[in-house]
Structure 1
């Protein structure tokens, strides 16, 4: 079955990395369904049943987003609250995520060193993203880990080395997804 990639980025048109990742995903429509939350719900009113049906129609679930204040964009948090409901995602009868492979794909403005015990933030992305992992595990899904791009805020598209790194990252993202 196809993988559902739920993309949450309020400024996707000006994004460099997330937009590049979307371009790469769209080369494989037989493998990935791209679902952009800000385009689907510009007013923020999420249709939970429609989202649940979309998840159920796919084999795997990936959440793609930029790190916002060491979490996700607010619309993704709302989506999780509205869609991962008792009786559907968890609880005595909530089994729709059980054993479903899940993962994250994130972009971080800071460098890999910034996101380390020695760096200015003192915590790695694994620790920062642990609430997402915990949510997935609580719902019984088969959490696979995360794919990350570091240093987005320090680069410009005028830098040829950055563009090469961006292309390698997009290809690496597809490889990551193919291993789910």
Structure 2
């Protein structure tokens, strides 16, 4: 894709993930180099490298958990856990910076319409555990947050980073779209 975009003079905005980081630093700004722990994170990091080498005019946008108006994976999981139709827990030690799908889409559109190149972090302003995020979703949707099972990911064999907080402050200075925190966009209705 990067080669084709460069050959044709097309704008390329590559979407990546906070999974490129191990969590050893906890706070990651746009200058931080990837140090993934999982095959998925390694594939995302390799794609970022390829895009930056093959299409230097491209923008690479890293994001975090994407939340919307009820349709995201995390939102559906919260409802299923409360309803008892799914087994599992929401981790209290797995920290991310969730972003609202509309904020993400708006910021990506800005990047597509601009000539800005380089690395961008498009994540929300709040660092939350998956359990804290679940509680906010439950409250917004009027369901019983006390029914959300909690657990620690560190107590499971699941690979991956525990605490990855994308610092979007440099990006926020380069795009007009306000990247709201989950506490703002998940206020109870």
* TM-score (norm: length of structure 2): 0.28
More contact order relative to length (CA 8 Å, sep ≥ 6) = 2
* Greater Cα radius of gyration, structure 1 or 2: 2
* TM-score (norm: length of structure 1): 0.29
